[in-house]
Structures are given as structure tokens and as C-alpha cells.
Amino acid sequence: MRSDTLAHRLREHFDWPLFIAAVLIAVLGVVNLYSATSVYQGARSELYISQVYWLVLGGILGGVVVVVDYRHLERLGYVLYGFGVTSLVLVFALARDVRGSARWIDLGAFKYQPSEFMKIFLVIALAKYLHDDPRSEGRTLRDLAIPAVLTAIPAALILRQPDLGTATLLSLVFVSICAMTRVKLKSILLLLAAVGPSLWFVWNYVLLQYQKDRVTIFLNPEADILRRGWHAHHARVAIGNGGLFGNGFMKGTQNQFLFMPDQYTDFPFAVYSEEWGFVGTSLLIGLYTFLVVWAVRIASQAKDRFGAVLGIGCGAIIFWHAAINMGMVSGVLPVVGVTLPLFSYGGSSVTTMLLAVALLMNVSMRRSAGVPTFDRP
């Protein structure tokens, strides 16, 4: 009986638009990786194959997540959060330095990047908190204190790695979720007033020199093209070199002539833009727009508060990643290490994004309250 119900649910409620949008992005990503890494010899030229493995593995993991009703996660919310924070603490003890920053825990077969998964865990924890704390009137700052602390703990740990991009991302996910809730006008004004002083504080006491450099380079892009401004400058040139229709697959000169370091992790969008032009970038942006708006739609149709926050949180993860990555590659934001969802190479990144899509699918499939649930007899 149970399997019948599951099969039925999969058939009736499977969110095809969500699935197709995610698959299209992933396919474009793999094709693009093939071109991006074609400039290398040896193992790095075959990263697109690893990416396929990661997508399959993440897909299986996502499938498991889809099958289990998301409300189980509600119960496990703080446990998962605690696991995530513990992993982040472990990073300091176990992690290896990669380019001066310790982000990975080596698990032998693969490297696990706790900060990536922390994004999901944080969304779940925030969803649980808001689920348990319904309000009919506007929230005050005090009401937001606990979710803020929930965000601040992992964000601070990640900032210590140091990984400014991910820390910022956690904060933005928190802000996005807050944007859903009803907050008192006075509190909003107070928060806005605090923005200036806190930026000053962060700049002077939190940011490291190389992080500040990225901001100054962003403000004055042509000052140091040969060293610190290299990435930003050449990415911008690559995008522009694509023109309206692009140079064609495998024909982007900026990439083929090695002007694009990190073209498979943080800058694949530049390679893609150069090869496919404005037509191609419009398609990709369209796909991301659809995916995120669809996530908002899923959230809006969720049958409970937990599902709604989960949907918005996952949508926010995808949105901020996409917006920040494309923004930094095209030179409207400073360079921070934020990947393009399902497009950039990276096991932890791909898995996290697939988990976010799976959670969206999960919420989407269980939106109508009338459908009997298979796991709650």
C-alpha cells in the first residue's frame, strides 16, 4: 500500500518545472566545464566527469531527501544545526589549508566542506524557530534576537576560516527569511541605522587585508590588473568578448589563452558568457530567475510555516549564490568566493545546491493539505 502511495505521489505531485530548470542548469554547467577545463592537461581536464559523478551522487542524496517528509526535518532541526556547527568547529582542528584558508575536512575519499552544508542546516533551524514562533503583530528586535544568534554563530566560525563569501551568504539568507516576517517599522529603521556603524566595524576589525584588497580593487578596477585585479579585469573582458552571440563553444580566447584562473570554480560564468554571448547569458539568467521565483511560489503554497520558511530559505541560497557570483564576475560586486549554483565545479557546492532543490521539491510535493501522507499513519 505504502509504495503505491509513494509512486502515486511522485506521479501526481512531482514538480517538473523545478526539476527541469535544475537539470538544464546542471547540463549547461557540465558542458561549460568541459570547455573551461579543456585548457589544462591531466586530471584537471577531466573535472567535468567528476562533476557528473557529484551530480549523480547529490541527485541520489536529494532523492532520499524528497522521499522523507520534510516535517521530520522539523523535529531534527536543531540536531542538524548542532551537527553543522560542530563540524565547523572541527574544521579548525582538522582542516587543511587551501590558499591560506581552511575550509575542508578530509574524509579520505572526498573532502567535506562543512560551511556549504551549514547553509541548509541554518535554513532548517530558522524554519523551525519561526514555525514554533507564530506572531500576528509585527516583530520587535528582541523577537529576532534568537534567529540572529542562530545565524551569527556559524557565520562567525566561517569568517574565521576565513571565508567572507559564505559568511556573508549566511547573513543574507537570514535577512531574506526575516524579510518574510512582519517586523515593526521602528525596528527596521533601527536596523538600517545600525548598518553604517557595523560596516565600519567589520572593515576595521573583521576583514583581512586580502579581503579589503578585493573591495578596493572593485572600487578601482584598473589599478592593479596584473596582480590583484587580474581576475575581475579578465572576467569582464571575457564576458564582453562574447558579444551578442558569443565566440562559440571552446572558442573563447580569454579562457583558451589562460587569462582566466579559477575558471571552473568561481568564474565558469565568464567562460560561458564568452562562448555563448548575451543570448546564452540571458538564457542562464532566465533559468535562475525561474528557479528562484518558482521557489517563492512553492513557499507561498506550503501548507505550514516550516515549509514556507524552508522554501524561502532554499530559494534564498540559490538566489544569493547566483546573484553574487554573476555580479562579481561581471564586475558589479567585489570578488568573493561564491559559486554559481549547479554550474560551478565542486562536490560540496553541487551537493548543497541539489539538497536545496530537493527540499524545494519536498515542500512542493506536499503542498496540498488534503493528500494523505505515507509516513504518518
d(Cα 377, Cα 361) in Å, to the nearest integer?
22
**Smallest gap, in angstroms, from Cβ of residue 150 to other proteins?**
18
Q: Which of 364, 352, 365 is nearest to 58 (CA)?
A: 352
> Which positions touch other proteins (CB under 8 A)?
131-132, 134-136, 176, 179-182, 234, 236-244, 253-254, 256-259, 273, 277-278, 281-282, 285, 288-289, 292-293, 296-297, 299-300, 302-305, 308-309, 312, 315, 319, 322-323, 326-327, 330-332
> Nearer to other proteins by C-beta: 102 or 141?
141
Q: Are 281 and 42 in contact (CB under 8 A)?
A: no
Q: CB 199 → other proteins: shortest distance, Å?
A: 20
Nearer to other proteins, 142 or 182 (CB): 182
Across the beta sheet with 111-112, the strand order is: 96-98, 101-106, 111-112
Enumerate the β-bridge partners of residue 104.
96
Q: What angle do CA 121, 124, 125 make, to 5 degrees?
A: 85
Residue listed under C-alpha cell 557540465: 30
Q: How far is the CB of 354 from other proteins (least distance, A)?
A: 20
Nearer to other proteins, 21 or 312 (CB): 312
For residue 159, the minimal CB distance to other proteins (Å) is: 24
4 versus 137: smaller Cβ distance to other proteins: 137
- The identity of residue 376, as a single letter, is R
Nearest distance in Å: CB 15, other proteins: 17
Q: Closer CB to other proteins, residue 95 or residue 363?
A: 363
What are the CA-CA distances from residue 361 to residues 19, 176, 262, 289, 312 (Å)? 8, 20, 31, 17, 12
**What is the amino acid identity at position 176?**
S
Q: What is the dihedral of CA 321, 178, 185, 194, to 10 degrees?
A: -60
Tracing cell 548542532 back to the chain, one arrives at: 82
To other proteins, the closest distance from the beta carbon of 273 in angstroms equals 7
Q: Which is nearer to other proteins, 220 or 300 (CB)?
A: 300
Tell whether the torsion through CA atoms of 332, 333, 337 and 339 is positive or negative.
negative
Residue nearer to other proteins on the CB measure, 81 or 259? 259
Residue with cell 558589479: 332
Could you tell me which residues are beta bridge partners of residue 96? 104
- For 260, counting Cβ atoms within 10 Å of its Cβ (0-12 exposed, 13-18 middle, 19+ buried), the class is buried
Helical spans, DSSP H, in 105-229: 114-132, 145-159, 164-180, 185-201, 209-219
Residue placing its CB nearer to other proteins in the complex, 87 or 176: 176
Residue 26: C-alpha distances to residues 31, 32, 106, 116, 320 (Å): 9, 10, 26, 18, 17
Smallest separation (angstroms) from other proteins to the CB of 213: 19
CB of 222 to other proteins, least distance (A): 11
Given the complex with other proteins, which of 8 and 251 has the nearer CB atom? 251
- Least CB distance from residue 259 to other proteins, whole Å? 5
